[in-house]
């Protein structure tokens, strides 16, 4: 039998890989839609909310980014929007060939009953440890277990100590660094490695757990009481980025 030309094999492999990838995406969408239906949430293939316009550091990574497979509604009475988030960075290798790198994550954004300054709580890694050693200092707390496991940065150190009290520290340590948290204004972002649809309850539960552990003193001092603060963003308005632009409606 005559051997097939190499380019024909290459095209066949490329087509097979594309079809397999498309099949996997379709399977994930169907599974997410089923999870949403069981959980009383709405499912959207695309992102109708402009989630990447929320002013979180995670959404500044890469050269391109987006959200898809968005679930929205209430999880244990907490208003949430969950999504598959991806970002990519374009670069060139040593030979000058273009390359892409990036990551895919599962995220949830929850609406909060408070309006607060920015705080980030993420797992302590080699890169964050090195950054701390060259001057980008995180905030240390009384718990050594917590300090080893997490890096905390904040716009207002005093507020960070109010938010991350002993009860919050105990709960965060119990999560084993599986999630990264950012809180700003009236929103909480929780992110982790992309989860299979049947495991999304873990991520949504983390958002609920963080919210439930916000200290009462913080709620009393920073609570919105369902009203926008003076000059703030009323309910239903698109989030505002740091540059002042609003997300698309």
**pLDDT tens, position by position, 176-221:** 999 999 999 999 999 999 999 999 999 999 999 999 999 999 999 9
Is the separation of the CB atoms in 182 and 57 below 8 Å? yes
Mean of pLDDT over the chain: 83
Q: Say how many domains are in the chain.
A: 1
Backbone angles phi, psi at 34, to 5 degrees: -65, -40
**Contacts with 249 (C-beta within 8 Å, 6 or more apart), sequence order:** 238
Which pairing describes strands 42-44 and 64-75: parallel, antiparallel, or unpaired? antiparallel
Instruction: Write down the pLDDT at residue 25.
Output: 83
Q: Looking at the domain assignment, is residue 247 inside a domain?
A: no
Cα-trace Rg, the chain: 21
pLDDT of residue 57: 94
Give domain status of residue 138, yes or no: yes
Residue 53 lies in a domain: yes
In a domain, 249, yes or no: no
Nearest to 206, CA basis, from 100, 75, 104, 91: 75
Give the confidence band of 150 by pLDDT, cuts at 50, 70, 90. very high
Q: How many CB atoms lie within 10 A of CB 51?
A: 25
Distances (CA, A) of 229 to 56, 159, 189, 215: 20, 18, 20, 20
Rounded-to-integer distance, Cα 164 and Cα 152, Å: 10
* Domain-located, residue 204: yes
Establish if 95 belongs to a structural domain.
yes
CB 119 within 8 A of CB 163: yes
Q: How confident is the model at residue 97 (pLDDT cuts 50, 70, 90)?
A: low
Residues spanned by the domain of 77: 42-222
Q: 180-193 and 98-123: which strand pairing?
A: antiparallel
Instruction: Name the band, by pLDDT with cuts 50, 70 and 90, for residue 7.
Output: low
231 pLDDT exceeds 50?
Answer: no
Does residue 89 lie in a domain region?
A: yes
Residue 236 inside a domain? The answer is: no
Q: How confident is the model over 38-89, as pLDDT tens digits?
A: 999 999 999 999 999 999 999 999 889 999 999 999 999 999 999 999 999 8
Average of per-residue pLDDT across 171-180: 96
């Amino acid at each position: 039998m005559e051997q097939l030309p190499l380019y024909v094999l290459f095209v066949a492999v490329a087509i097979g890989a594309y079809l397999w990838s498309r099949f996997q995406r379709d399977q994930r969408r169907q599974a997410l839609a089923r999870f949403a239906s069981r959980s009383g949430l709405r499912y959207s293939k695309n992102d109708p909310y402009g989630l990447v316009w929320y002013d979180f550091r995670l959404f500044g990574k890469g050269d391109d980014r987006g959200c898809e497979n968005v679930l929205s509604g209430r999880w244990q009475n907490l208003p949430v929007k969950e999504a598959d988030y991806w970002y990519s960075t374009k670069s060139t290798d040593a030979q000058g060939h273009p390359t892409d790198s990036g990551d895919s994550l599962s995220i949830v954004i929850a609406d909060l009953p408070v309006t607060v300054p920015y705080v980030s709580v993420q797992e302590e890694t080699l890169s964050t440890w090195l950054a701390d050693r060259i001057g980008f200092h995180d905030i240390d707390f009384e718990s050594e277990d917590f300090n080893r496991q997490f890096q905390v940065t904040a716009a207002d150190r005093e507020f960070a100590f109010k938010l991350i009290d002993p009860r919050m520290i105990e709960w965060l340590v119990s999560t084993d660094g599986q999630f990264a948290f950012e809180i700003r204004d009236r929103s909480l972002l929780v992110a982790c490695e992309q989860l299979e649809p049947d495991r999304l309850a873990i991520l949504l539960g983390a958002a609920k757990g963080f919210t439930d552990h916000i200290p009462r003193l913080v709620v009393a001092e920073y609570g919105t009481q369902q009203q926008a603060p003076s000059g703030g963003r009323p309910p239903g308005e698109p989030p505002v980025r740091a540059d002042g632009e609003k997300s698309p409606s």
